[in-house]
Each structure stands twice: as structure tokens, then as C-alpha cells.
Amino acid sequence: MSLDAFRLDGKTALITGGNRGIGLAIARLFGEAGAQCMLSARSETPQSRELTNRDGYAFTEGDVTDPAVPERLVQATLDRFGRLDILVNNAGVADGGDFHDFDDKRLARIMDTNLIAPFRVARAAIPPMLAQGGGAIVNIGSISGYVANKPQLQVAYNSSKAAIHQMTTVMAFEYAGRGIRVNALAPGYIRTRMAEGGMADDAMSKVWRDSTPMGRFGEPEEMATCALFLASDAASFVTGATLVADGGYITH
């Protein structure tokens, strides 16, 4: 196997939450690796618009918590590019607070976005992948699916990400013999909008950094390289895995 195994020439990827942060970094790198990319989010950002104005990129607006949207995103990808080889389930939200005060509305927002929506998008993506003989799915989980984060309290978020890891495992088992690989990526603390509030707080930022053996936060581009590996033929014998990329956070 050569370095060409990391190329995505001739492949098409659908990336949810592709308008910023990790999703946008993945889209950029996948394009550099030769893929055509359909980005999706509730709205475009100037950064995603700059990318989707280029050849080989497109954008479809949609709120993945709407039950009708997952099928629409997959169909839009097929209509624009003719195939769907890679799905990156990246869209997600975070929320925290005392467990006993976490009301049903906030719980539903977390679960609908972080678990139910990725389930539906993957469910919609599987049939065209089966029809063309295979594909790759990368679900974005989190180290929060393994640990209790500190100092923030976020039972619902952590539970949703643990569920994504398990969904990945069982999907991989079901489709391994039919040419579809399913893996997850579990980032640590990455410089994205989701984490910027904590990183701007000196006390919280110190706890996060001190809890990371490498002593720093990750960058979206570092997560993109991990996603490229999982989506490419370089990971041709990898399925059902959750790749942790956290600077060592969960080692202790």
C-alpha cells in the first residue's frame, strides 16, 4: 500500500456541520485529497461559502433535527455528484448543567442533534452505498463519551456521544460484509466555536489544559487528518473503531 491510499480521487463525501470548525477543516482536506464534497449546515458562513464557491464543492442548507432533512441531504448529494462514497456525521451541539435541573427541552435538543440526527443521516446514506458496492462512514464522537469532563457538568452531552460510539460499533458489525466501513473519531478539546467559551475562561482553560498530557488544545486540521485516514483506503481493514485524538486526555 502506498501513500495513494490516502487519496479520495473520484469519491464524493457528505459532511454535516460543514460550515465551520472540524467539519469545515475536513471538507478542505477531503477536497485537497481529490474528493467532491457536499457540505451541509443550518446556514453558510463566510468561510464555508469561500470553499463552496470552488469547483467540486456544494452546500445544502438544512437542520438535521428535522426528520425530513437527512433524506434530502443524501438526495441532494446524489443529484449534484451522482454518488455518495463517504459520510461524515459531524453536526453536534453541547449543553451542560446540573443533572437534576436538566429539563426535557434541553435533553431533546442534545439527543436530537447528537444521536437521532446522525442515525437518520446514516440510515439514508446506507442504501446508495450498498447499491454502488460500498462506502465509508465517519461518526464524530467525543472523549466525553468515555469520561466525566471537568469542571463542566454535561451528562446529556456525554451520554449522546457514548451512544454514537456504540452506534458506530454495531453499524460496523452489520455492514462489514457488505463493503461499508463505519468508524468514529473522538476529539478532545479542539479550538472550535463549541469550546471557545471555555478556552476564553482562564480557570476552565487551565483545567482543560492541565488535564491534557500534551499540554495544549488541538486544532480542527488535526482532526481532519484523522478523518481522512478513516475515510480513505488507508484504513481499508479498519471498521468499528473509535479513534481518540485528545492529546492524551483519557489516559488518566
Give CA–CA dist 136/172, Å, rounded.
10
CATH class in words for 4-244? alpha beta
Any idea where the domains of the chain sit in the sequence?
Answer: 4-244
For residue 74, pLDDT beyond 80: yes
Q: Look at residue 177 in the predicted model and tell me its pLDDT.
A: 98
Looking at every residue in the chain, the average pLDDT score rounds to 97
For residue 1, pLDDT beyond 80: no
Q: pTM of the entire structure?
A: 0.97
Give CA–CA dist 84/88, Å, rounded.
11
Average pLDDT rounded to a whole number, residues 222-240 = 98
| Single-letter amino acid, residue 77 | T
Average pLDDT rounded to a whole number, residues 61-75 = 98
| Residue positions annotated with a catalytic role | 157
119-156: buried (b, 16+ CB within 10 Å) or exposed (e) per residue? Answer: bbbbebbbebbeeeeebbbbbbbbbbbbbebeebbbbb
